[in-house]
Amino acid sequence: MGNVLNIVLQRLALGLLTLLIVSIVIFIAVNMLPGDFAELILGQGATPEAVKTIREDLGLDQSLISRYFGWLGGMLTGDLGTSFAQLNFQTNLGGDGGVTVVEQIAPRFANTMFLAMVTAAIAVPIAVIVGILAALYRNTVFDRVANIFTLSSISSPEFFMAYVLILFLAVLNPILPSLSNIYQGMEFSDRLVKSLLPALTLTLVVTAHMMRMTRAAIINLLASPYIEMARLKGMSPMRVIVKHALPNALAPIINVIALNLAYLITGVVVVEVVFVYPGIGQLFVDSVKIRDIPVVQACCLIFAAAYILLNLTADILSILSNPRLRHPK
Amino acid sequence: MLHGISRRGLMKTGAAAGVLSMTGMPLKAATMGGKLTAGLGGANTSDSWDSRTHSDIFMIASAHGTVFDCLTEVAADGSLTGELAESWEASSDAKTWTFNLRSGVKFHNGKAFGADDVIASLQMHIGEDSKSAAKPIVEAIAEMKKMSDTQVVFTLASGNADFPYLMSDYHICMYPAGMIEEAIQKGIGTGLYAVESFDPGVRMVANRVKDHYKGDSAGFFDQVEYIAINDNTARMNALMTGQVDTINRIDFKTEALLKANPALRIQEVTGNQHYSFPMLTDQSPFSDVNVRKALKYGVNRQELVDKVLLGHGAVGNDTPIGPANQYYNDEMDQLAYDPDKSKFYLKQAGLDSIDIDLSASNAAFEGAVDAAQLMQASMNGTGINLNVVQEPADGYWSNVWLKKGFCACYWSGRATEDWMFATAYEAGVPWNDSQWDEKDSARFQSLLLSARAELDSDTRQAQYFEMQEILRDEGGTLIPMFANYVQAVNNRISSPDQIGNLWQMDNARMAERWSVA
């Protein structure tokens, strides 16, 4: 087990380094975009004086390097700062305090996690079961249909799948709402119904990858001598696969599932916009639009951290699922 | 006597305004109760209840149209009625204005509304580092004096006959004095609906206030919910699937689908919103009025309305005064597309041909680049070689507008002539995007000042009509088209026959004026 702990610590350290690099890249990238917060928030009313006032209020007149280290310093003490929009609002008001980035992101992130979990609850069982069945009945009509269907849904852009689902499930047959405007204090069942269309869209997008990996990993093992042995013992094909092949195929499957879960958190931007789902993706888009760097940075760090942590989890789980890695000689 | 009251007469006799606001109630009884759900674009995560920062429909409809009140209100027919002010009166030089406030009005937190609130709310907009868009309006007030709890006297630095109109501006909402900060955090106003929940950039819900001073003459819903839907397609979907009752800014490309749905109707009004192409008249070649005239005649305006607005608009006559203004000059001749005249004026300028750069970006307005290219084509053969420069959308307003000699621009227009002119056509003002001043027309600038303080409406009309003619003939801004406000409503919601054209969504007041069918 000491081995696993070592890997975890090593990975976490590398993860922190990755986050640091990500934050530098994002900071530079957002600053390279034309226009800054002051100009964009003022729009047509961007007179030089007004722009100057806002820049001074927000510290945008300082150099890039001192702004970055100011932000990094706050970050290391656990303070992600306050969004420019909020700061600007407070200087208008003459007060201070107010909503910090963390408070702003927390409810949005919870919504995104909810959507990711609903999607995972639908997509993972479907992907694994269909994958197993496709391996079992490989090269049959079922296998072909499953492959064609999942491959064509992953190959279409998300917004297209979203509109196709809206057309069939909301416009032509009004079963589900096309508007996923969930809010705090909503009943769980309402929340679930409202989140169903975006969850189905995401399911279509992520299923193919997981299902095909399940199928491939199992088929790969079916040629192994111990599977042949199991068959010769007279076991049913289903039992051979579930009992003997699947446990050994778990490592790659878990890997792909973790990658797709990370995608559910970071890749939902388009889906959230189409369904007006108030998640972190929409907040991210809004913030990039007005160059609200503290919020953009925080969102990116969350995205990056989700990838790093889920990848780490995948690695640990594949180590634990493989006795040879669990007990290295 | 009520029949004799024109909107102009109303300006002078404030007392009558009070009478009108008492009697000017909808004739047919509206159904009370029910809920209005609107899907509105123009929302931001940076939205707040601070009316000084409002600039787009979501917050204007939420604050100005639902939760807060102003002193005065522009009715759907364009006339001015009292909202928190009952009546008003001007001195003969239009410098001193006495406002009598409605008594017995309460904020949503129970505080009584009075003169102190008016003064405190107006003071929010001034101060050295104020970023309020209404700063110029309020700065013109030299002194505010509380005469009693229900009377305030404003002394202006110089006479302004439009002052009561300016008090209807959506930036100038009334907040409770002494607790303005709290009111901005929570949204505490005197409006028909009190905030139940507000999630910036996501959603706003408000419930009808019991025993409101507007009684049962307005605010017919029990509850209103505004959902932020910035994505065009998502907004159309929400309306088509019946999840919202109404949406703003419909997408013209899919308008046919809405029309085909018998449960929906489309509302379309031409207001003051216009798309313009300002030229810097202090720079060559635009300093020559003949070059400006050559450009004016070289534009096929109808083609722009047909192709850029897909018919949802009206041709402009190079003046920013539109049908929602009271002194809109609809008698003067329309500038026509005439390549020969264009060529003639270019000759007058001593030129056979000229190369002109036109900067455009869809940040100015949707379709600005197409419009620029259509203009380029329509000027073929006039000797004007228009070179369309496509500018980046980001930073357009800071880097291109007011800086490039000839560029695309848009204005939502203003409720009064003076307000519009004072914003963009008065010598020396920061947004004067054509640098239009005495060098171009001393007559225009002097008319602007005298019309401002003129209380006699006939004289005023003559002055504003002449100013519009000057702009049409010599002005430095090409205004080829006025863009309609187009929105769609489900038939389960009824709206009055006449809806406001000053702003989208019945002047953003659908919560006040519409009801369940």
Domain containing A181 — which CATH number? 1.10.3720.10
Q: What is the 3 state secondary structure string of B347-391?
A: HHCCCCCEEEEEEECCCCCCCHHHHHHHHHHHCCCCCEEEEEEEC
Query: How many Cα atoms occupy the beta-carbon half-sphere of B326 within 13 Å?
Result: 25
Of A33, A35, A92, the CB nearest to B131: A92
Q: What is the pLDDT of residue B16?
A: 41
- Alpha carbon distance A47, A169 (integer Å): 48
**Beta carbons of A181 and B203 less than 8 Å apart:** yes
- Asked whether residue A53 falls in the same domain as residue A149, the answer is no
- Concatenating the DSSP letter of every residue in B211-230 gives T-TTTTSS---SEEEEEE--
User: Based on the domain organization, do A115 and A251 belong to the same domain?
Assistant: yes
Radius of gyration of chain A (CA): 24
Distance from C-alpha of B299 to C-alpha of B323, rounded to nearest angstrom: 22
Question: Which tokens is B404 given?
Answer: 């490039």
Residue of chain B minimizing CA distance to A98: B185
CA B396 to chain A, closest CA, distance in angstroms equals: 9
Q: Tell whether A228 is covered by a domain.
A: yes
Residue finishing a domain among A37, A66, A99: A99
pLDDT at B23: 42
Beta strand B246-247 pairing with B35-40? parallel
What is the pLDDT of chain B when averaged over all its residues? 88
Q: Is residue A273 assigned to a domain?
A: yes
Percentage above 90 pLDDT, chain B: 60
> Which tokens belong to A5?
């702990």
pLDDT digits (tens, 9 = 90+) for A297-313: 888 888 888 888 888 88
Dmax over CA atoms of chain B, in Å, equals: 72
3-state secondary structure of B85: strand
CB pairs under 8 A between A and B: 117
Question: What's chain A's average pLDDT?
Answer: 84
Are A280 and A299 in contact by the 8 Å Cβ rule? The answer is yes
Region A158-173: what's the mean pLDDT?
88
Residue type present at position B344: F
Q: Letter for the amino acid at A168?
A: F
Q: For the ranges B42-51, B125-134, B157-166, B210-219, which has the lowest average pLDDT?
A: B125-134
Q: Residue A154 above 70 pLDDT? A: yes
Specify whether A50 is located in the same domain as A134: no
In a domain, A7, yes or no: yes
- pLDDT for B14 beyond 70: no
Beta bridge partners of B390: B360
Residues A86 and A168 in one domain: no
Based on the fold, state whether residues A141 and A94 are members of the same structural domain.
Answer: no
Tell whether ipTM is more than 0.95.
no
Tally Cβ neighbours within 10 Å of residue B33: 11
In this predicted structure, the answer to whether residue B4 has a pLDDT above a threshold of 50 is: no
Are A151 and A267 found together in one domain? Answer: yes
- Write down how long chain B is: 517
**Which has the closest alpha carbon to B46: A13, A302, A98, A95?**
A98
pLDDT tens-digit series, residues B129-185: 677 778 888 888 999 999 999 999 999 998 999 999 999 999 999 999 989 888 988
Q: How many CB atoms lie within 10 A of CB A173?
A: 9
CA B38 to chain centre: 21
Tell me which chain A residues have a C-beta less than 8 angstroms from the C-beta of B234.
Answer: 178-179, 273-276
Residues B137 and B122: their CA atoms lie apart, in Å, by 10
Task: For B369-426, write each residue's pLDDT tens digit.
Answer: 999 999 999 998 888 999 999 988 777 877 888 889 999 998 988 888 998 998 899 9
Domain annotation covers residue A14: yes
Q: Quote the pLDDT of residue A94.
A: 53
Asked if residues A268 and A202 have their Cβ atoms less than 8 Å apart, the reply is yes
pLDDT band (50, 70, 90) for residue B26: very low
Taking alpha carbons only, the member of B494, B504, B505, B39 closest to residue B239 is B39
**Does A256 score more than 70 pLDDT?**
yes
pLDDT at B255: 83
Return the pLDDT at B287. 92
Do A37 and A133 share a domain, yes or no?
no
Is residue A295 in a domain? no
d(CA B134, CA B414): 12
pLDDT band at B107 (very low <50, low <70, confident <90, very high): very high
Is A287 in the B-facing interface, judged by CB distances under 8 Å?
Answer: yes
The per-residue pLDDT for range A29-72, each reduced to its tens digit, is: 888 877 777 777 776 666 677 778 778 877 777 888 888 888 88
Q: Closest by alpha carbon to B235, among B255, B219, B220? A: B255
Rounded Cα distance, B391 and B488, in Å: 33
> What's the domain range around A64?
2-99
How far off is chain B from A289, nearest CA to CA, in Å?
10
Residue-level pLDDT at B293? 93
In single-letter form, the type of residue at position B22 comes to M
- As a whole number, mean pLDDT of residues A186-214 equals 90
Helices and strands of chain A, counted as H and E runs: 16, 0
Rounded (10°) angle between helices B417-424 and B457-474: 40
B456 alpha-carbon distance from chain centroid? 24
If you count DSSP H runs as helices and E runs as strands, how many of each does chain B have, helices first? 19, 19
Nearest alpha carbon to residue A302 among A28, A33, A36, A111: A111
Structure tokens belonging to residue A51: 């722009």
DSSP, collapsed to helix, strand or coil, labels residue B179 as: coil
Locate tokens 């076991």: which residue? A235
Does residue A212 belong to any structural domain of this protein?
Answer: yes
Q: Is the peptide bond before A107 cis (omega within 30 degrees of 0)?
A: no
Same domain assignment for residues A150 and A269:
yes
Q: Give me the helix-helix angle, B457-474 and B442-452, nearest 10°.
A: 150
Substitution target in B173, B181, B198, B202 with the highest count of A β-carbons within 10 Å is B202
A111 touches chain B (CB under 8 A): no
Tell me if B202 and A174 make a contact (CB, 8 A cut-off). Answer: no
Residue that terminates a domain, selected from A69, A99, A129: A99
Assess whether pLDDT exceeds 50 at residue B17. no
Residue A329: per-residue pLDDT? 60
Say whether B141 sits in a helix, a strand or coil. Answer: strand
Write out the H or E segment, with its range, that includes residue A12.
helix A2-32
Instruction: Give the number of residues written for chain A.
Output: 329
Which is more confident, B312 or A292? B312
Q: Rounded to an integer, what distance in angstroms lies between the CA atom of residue B371 and that of residue B301?
A: 10
H or E element at residue A277:
none
B229 in contact with chain A, both atoms CB, cutoff 8 A: yes
Q: Are B110 and B98 in contact (CB under 8 A)?
A: no
Domain count, chain A: 2
Q: Is B428 exposed, middle or buried (0-12, 13-18, 19+ CB in 10 A)?
A: exposed
Name the DSSP class of A43: G
pLDDT at site A171: 83
Tokens in use for B60?
């204007």
Residue with more model confidence, A203 or A327: A203
Locate tokens 């778990």: which residue? A250
Residues A280 and A154 in one domain: yes
- Kindly give, in sequence order, each residue whose CB lies less than 8 Å from that of residue B349, ignoring residues fewer than 6 positions away: B285, B288, B290, B291, B294
Q: Chain A residue with minimal CA distance to B423?
A: A45
Contact: A179, B129; criterion CB under 8 Å: no
Interface subset of A 203-232, CB within 8 angstroms of B? none
CB proximity under 8 Å: A 51-110 to B: 51, 53-54, 83, 85-86, 88-89, 91-95, 104
CB-CB neighbors (< 8 A) of A291 in chain B:
none
What's the token pair of residue A136? Answer: 């079992």
A174 contacts in chain B (CB < 8 Å)? 241-242
A313 part of a folded domain: no
Interface test with B, best of A40, A89, A161 (most B CBs within 10 A): A89
Residue A217, pLDDT > 70, answer yes
A122 and A271 in a single domain? The answer is yes
Q: Determine which helix (DSSP H) or strand (DSSP E) holds B156, and give its type and residue range.
A: strand B151-156
| Partners of B410 in beta bridges | B275
Residue A299 covered by a domain: no
**% of chain B with per-residue pLDDT over 70:** 94
User: A278 and chain B: CB distance < 8 Å anywhere?
Assistant: yes
- Lowest pLDDT segment from A166-170, B131-135, B282-286, B378-382: B131-135
Instruction: Report the candidate in B237, B39, B252, B37 with the shortest Cα–Cα distance to residue A168.
Output: B237
Q: Is A160 in the same domain as A241?
A: yes
Q: Is A92 in Cβ contact with B50 (below 8 Å)? A: yes
Quick one: how far is CA A55 from the chain centroid? 33
Q: Are residues A91 and A133 in the same domain?
A: no
